[in-house]
Structure 1
């Protein structure tokens, strides 16, 4: 890790899919993200660490909305590489522990894997299936460190030893996904195709090969994540107006998709967010 790199304060970063983010980081866990070195940054979005100390307290169930990224997750006896998931992920935090991770950019893992990332969607693989390393040995090496900066250095060293050639499609994919995430007016794949002058079938093939999920799913994910982050602040919107802004023709389809990604209806999520804030 370069000496000029520092952690990214989460107080000024979006929740990036972590539900009940403000309440969770205030009471139950600490989440820190670390930027990669320049060469690693072509493929890696950031490194992350979650620490918690709930000694003598009840366990806390943390929920995370899926994202179009592959993650290498290092934790005791559970170190694995996870493909993109299409549904909400839940993790029970109990006792005192930590998890360290590497989040690859959308498409950034494909040059390492050299196989369609759609094969990894909703699944996981061991580190040695991609990297020249033994999983248990790397896990012990990372978790024995007392500083996250050293963990990042070790992770970067592993990635650098296996660094593939740069692939221009990774840049293209991230331009597309960044636009989808930033422009809330994008609700259909045709809008992406028009904006980037790309054939829809070519776009779909590229996403299947490099990202593991379809562009349609990515659009739906970020629009519903926008909605969840709004509700997470305890604000009740005009449901019909919100549905229309997200590109839905009626509320029922919006509610169905919201539940498929978030795991509960918008009303249930809003009620839970309000109750969490009150406590």
Structure 2
């Protein structure tokens, strides 16, 4: 769960016009100064549904640690596509959202090994055993600090590159990005695999598609073929395919809902 609260499925009226806010509460505490090099933020989601609700979660290039119902934490690698989770009854989830590259000092191995996977935190050698029942910011921070993470200059470099991609909508190609940051394409690809878990092309496409959804949500008039070209796509068909893979529906349907 990243950025704005994740998108619910289009078939449910509770997904329309921000109606999800009547059933969910979100909070995003920030990390301490000690963990800020690694953790982007914490997130807490609470919900109350009389009927099961299918929650669409759109991926970003962040690894998450997730605590559910007082159980042991799980590591969620970067997902290459959207995920749907069912929320029912009353529930609460506490999560840690790592910066791009921020989980590498805990994992102590290539983050690409986690992509599209969920595994117990107990399987990560760099993390101490989780023995607490409460999952709150203070207890989770003490646990993470006990792992003794060390800042990684390469991870910091990669995090800065991801931030640049997110901030600059004119970045649409990997070779352009590599030239801008002074690295070869292959080196950039290796750094992203090692520290982010997905390649720079995926990251660029993800943030350019975010540009598309922002325009839809503002109600901008959109010529789809023109938008696809602005975002670096060869044609509208490739844009629509990538959009559906990430958001779970074609861009035209998404636009109608907003």
TM-score by length of 2: 0.89
Question: Which structure 1 segments of 5+ residues have no match?
Answer: 1-12, 143-150, 275-279
More helix by proportion, 1 or 2? 1
Q: RMSD value over aligned CA atoms?
A: 2.0
CA deviations on 1:61-98 (whole Å, 9 max, x unpaired) are 22121111110000025731110000112222211111
- Correspondence for 2:233: 248
Distance 1:111 1:78, change over 3 A: closer
CA distance in structure 2 between the aligned counterparts of 1:58 and 1:227, rounded to whole angstroms? 32
Q: Which runs of 4+ in 1 moved over 3 A?
A: 232-236
Match of 1:198 among 177, 183, 191: 183
2:207 counterpart SS class: helix
CA distance in structure 1 between the aligned counterparts of 2:20 and 2:72, rounded to whole angstroms? 23
Structure 1 position 60, deviation (Å): 2.3
Question: Which structure 2 segments of 5+ residues have no match?
Answer: 9-14
Number of residue pairs aligned between Structure 1 and Structure 2:
247
TM-score by length of 1: 0.83
Of 57-66 and 219-228, more deviation after overlay is shown by 57-66
Alignment of 1:19-98 (within 5 A): 19=7, 23-54=18-49, 57-76=50-69, 77=71, 79-98=73-92
Structure 1 position 257, deviation (Å): 1.1
CA distance in structure 2 between the aligned counterparts of 1:128 and 1:113, rounded to whole angstroms? 11
Of 19-28 and 110-119, more deviation after overlay is shown by 19-28
1:101 equivalent to 2:95? Answer: yes
- Correspondence for 1:172: 157
Alignment of 1:153-164 (within 5 A): 153-164=138-149
